[in-house]
Amino acid sequence: MDAAFWDDKRPAGVPNDIDLNQYSSIIDVFERSCSKYAERPAFTCMGTTITYGELEKQAGAFASYLQNHTDLQPGDRIAIQMPNVLQFPVAVFGAIRAGLVVVNTNPLYTAREMRHQFTDSGAKALVYMNVFGHLVEQVLPDTEIKHLFEARMGDMLPTLKGTLTNLAVKHLRKMVPEYNLPGAVSFKAALARSKGNSPRQVGKTMDDIAVLQYTGGTTGPSKGAMLTHRNLVANMLQVYANMQQLDKNGQKIMSDAGEIVIAPLPLYHIFAFTVNLMCIMVAGHHNVLITNPRDITGFVRELKKWKFSSMVGLNTLFVALMDHPEFDQIDFSNLKGTTSGGTALVKATADRWEKKTGKSIGEGYGLTECSPVVCSSPSDGLQRLGYVGLPVPGTAVKTIDDDGNETAIGERGELCVKGPQVMLGYWQRPDATAEAIDEGGWLKTGDIAVIEEDGFVCIVDRKKDLVIVSGFNVYPNEIEDVVSAHPKVANAAVIGVPDERSGEAVKLFVVPNSPDLTIEELKAYCKENFTGYKVPRHYELRDFLPMTPVGKILRRELRDQ
């Protein structure tokens, strides 16, 4: 379907296209926004706020340190592994201003997962939180990483508060296991050493890679999606274009006066990376970072401090918030939009949220390979439950059958996407790139969708065997490969099963090759090898698994059973 199909279907105020000539790179976006909104608050975390002007200075200091005190060159990869803290945007924009490629790394990764990402990307530097130092020590000898920057939780808080926070994290909460990384440079010390310095300009173009964003593979290890400056700037402008929607009185729903946006999704995740780090910046809005959204009591306490305008979350998060006894004490009077992504929104959750807050939840759809936003629901009551909205401006989508022929309006087919946000390809994997993106530039998503006459898109099934747990992708092959390496396992299979809180949960089937294999043993093994959301919740020992004549496990048959 040509992008023009949606030209008369978007709500008032939303343009049909974007102007990519506005900016020359992400660096350009950052520097212009920081200059324009210098006095406005940019990020708040743990009670401390930095303005756009302060963010520019801090990121400039880190970029300057990278340029003058390391041998890193433009194009080298730097991994960043931190939760939502003020250091994150400083590290990201500092690295990009120095010409480096950011490799976003999940701070909950196990040593095995970190090792793969660091070695595959060829990262030469790493910014990490000290609570992960013991894992860094384990994987470092297997990587090309030469430069370590160690952040601590309280480093960007006022001196006394920061010192107390760091002591509490280490000694009261016991969150910092022992490790030895003598070559690490304190992130705080690096900023102090280059304070007041401006980085040298680097000649980055829109075609240069800005970020390697790793996505799980349905077969084999996870792959790095090469996201260029153009991809990310385009998606930022596409989301910003949707924010221009007018209400029934012809007024902009999201004003230009600096709205307050709650950011509970992790910044290393591509959605928060594009929306909270970039799109909110070009709008001059204020991000309130939630460091640990699993601490619902702490999250509610933070929400009670703000008259916030917008929040993005997952079905799981909305349910947990509404179940908290103090939820009714939160001020929703300025709430203008709530967006759900990553996993299907349950109708009961949406109805309950609207009843409690007076605002409905809109769903969206995206994937790492699209930087990530493809579709988004309009706000102001124009959302439609069960639909992911309309393609963002400048984006074409279509559905195809198994032979690659475009299917008609209202018919199911594999969703394909074409637009400036579609990745350059997979890092060092030309075959996988050719398989995903055809000669016409259409990315095959692997999701089955229906496009309605009025332009709304509905995701109805997944062609891949992907399991989505609280918005995070879990790929069965990865779990099966690691579990099959257990000495007492003959065979393993993974499927997703419905779960009330997380949308789906991982179920693991195992055929033992030793009679003394226990489920407790499997649970301990999985916890050691997988980050939390990948750990199976359900286990079943079997004598055999259903297979095709050539030995391929029939996951669909397991699901049907």
Please check whether residue 516 lies inside any domain of the structure.
yes
Q: What percent of the chain has pLDDT over 90?
A: 83
Please check whether residue 544 lies inside any domain of the structure.
yes
Please check whether residue 212 lies inside any domain of the structure.
no
Q: Find out whether 113 and 138 touch, Cβ atoms under 8 Å.
A: no
The predicted pLDDT at position 500 comes to 85
Please check whether residue 523 lies inside any domain of the structure.
yes
The predicted pLDDT at position 549 comes to 57
The predicted pLDDT at position 552 comes to 66
Q: Find out whether 10 and 18 touch, Cβ atoms under 8 Å.
A: no
The predicted pLDDT at position 219 comes to 47
- By CB atoms closer than 10 A (0-12, 13-18, 19+), residue 553 is buried
CATH code: domain of residue 532: 3.30.300.30
The predicted pLDDT at position 341 comes to 78
Please check whether residue 330 lies inside any domain of the structure.
no
Please check whether residue 489 lies inside any domain of the structure.
yes
- Total structural domains within the chain: 1
> Rounded distance, CA 301 to CA 294, Å?
13
78 has which bridge partners? 102, 125
The predicted pLDDT at position 266 comes to 92
Please check whether residue 518 lies inside any domain of the structure.
yes
CB half-sphere exposure, 544, CA atoms < 13 A: 5
**Residue whose C-alpha is closest to residue 398's, from 8, 14, 3:** 3
Residue ranges in the chain modelled with pLDDT below 70: 216-220, 343, 462-463, 548-552
Please check whether residue 170 lies inside any domain of the structure.
no
**C-alpha to C-alpha distances, 399 to 120, 387, 403, 414, 505, nearest whole angstrom:** 33, 15, 11, 5, 28
DSSP labels, 70-81: S---TT-EEEEE
Per DSSP, the three-state class of 102 is strand
pLDDT (tens digit, 9 = 90+) per residue, 66-91?
999 999 999 999 999 999 999 999 99
Range of the domain at 501: 467-560
